[in-house]
Amino acid sequence: MARVRMNNVMEEFQLELVSGKESITKPIETSDISRPGLEIAGFFTYYPADRIQILGMTELSFFKNYLSDEQKKDIMERLCCDETPGIIVSRDLEVPKELVEASERNHVPVFRSSLKTTRLVSRITNYLEGKLAPTTAMHGVLVDVYGVGVLITGQSGVGKSETALELVKRGHRLVADDSVEIRQDENDTLIGSSPELIEHLLEIRGLGIINVMTLFGAGSVRNHKRISLIMNLELWDSKKNYDRLGLDEEKMRILDTDVTRLTVPVRPGRNLAVIIEVAAMNFRLKRMGMNAAQQFANRLSNALNVDHDEQ
């Protein structure tokens, strides 16, 4: 099923529909936009037909002043092919009658916008990149802790939602509980959000579903957040050796992006909310170039070297 269609773009940018009304639901497969300047001049060898085509003052001025009537009909016929999702004329310019006729024959919708061409291209590109970005969903809880998007993962019943509730009580913000929808905006940027059905809701075993925004106010939730850190909660295993220094950084790949992951063992008496707060603050310090584990390792190495020299 198509994730975005021409009618979505029309509604988002309040475009005026000029012709091709029956075809406004054509799907859009790419976020790339084309300004068919060479095509208007007759060069269609590399015509990117699957893109939204935007005609500005440059293209339409050349079309109006330098082409014969026969050439105009031929160019617009070739511009309006089956693959083309739609054509937009910018700056409220007059739409050529040859374009209107070709669009009706070939079922390609034509729109008009009051925006300048460059601004229109930029805004539609940003919109489509967001809509067509790679997406996935993960089981977990996403919380904004001190400005760091922390994705809490772990087996069902390990205490993810309870930990998130404690974090919200401590002034942090809930993004999503149970299911986190993730989209990759850029090669290294993952944005997490909540499915609309369970937005602002938190499920606590024995208590049921609570509305975090109603209980704690609008400042306790946010709609989306960049995922920077993953906290994986697991039941304490006495036979397993857990990292006690933090020198080795584990990574988890989501879509095409590697995200730092910390594994925190869970057992009675451990305050997970405080641990996650400290992990978020420590993560921020590392990004600023202050690595406490590395500093300790350097001190230890220096101390050992001094003892060796004295001997």
159 is in an annotated binding site: yes
56 is in an annotated binding site: no
Which of 97, 105, 119, 139 is catalytic? The answer is: 139
160 is in an annotated binding site: yes
251 is in an annotated binding site: no
158 is in an annotated binding site: yes
As a whole number of angstroms, the distance between CA 134 and CA 153 comes to 21
154 is in an annotated binding site: yes
Which of 239, 240, 244, 253 is catalytic? The answer is: 244
Is residue 224 flagged as an active site residue?
A: no
Strands 250-254 and 257-266: antiparallel
Is residue 32 flagged as an active site residue?
A: no
Which of 160, 183, 200, 225 is catalytic? The answer is: 160
Which of 50, 74, 178, 185 is catalytic? The answer is: 178
Is residue 139 flagged as an active site residue?
A: yes
140 is in an annotated binding site: no
Q: What is the 3-state secondary structure (H, E, C) of the chain?
A: CCCCEHHHHHHHHCCEEEECHHHCCCECCCCCEECCHHHHCCCCCCCCCCCEEEECHHHHHHHHHHCCHHHHHHHHHHHCCCCCCCEEECCCCCCCHHHHHHHHHHCCCEEECCCCHHHHHHHHHHHHHHHHCCEEEEECEEEEECCEEEEEEECCCCCHHHHHHHHHHCCCEEEECCEEEEEEEECCEEEEECCHHHCCEEEECCCEEEEHHHHHCHHHECCEEEEEEEEEEEECCCCCCCCCCCCCCEEEEECCEEEEEEEEEECCCCCHHHHHHHHHHHHHHHHCCCCHHHHHHHHHHHHHHHHHHHC
Is residue 308 flagged as an active site residue?
A: no
Give the residue ranges of the annotated binding site for ATP.
154-161
The residues annotated with a catalytic role in the active site are: 139, 160, 178, 244
Report the binding-site residues for Mg(2+): 161, 203
Residue ranges for the known binding site are: 154-161, 203
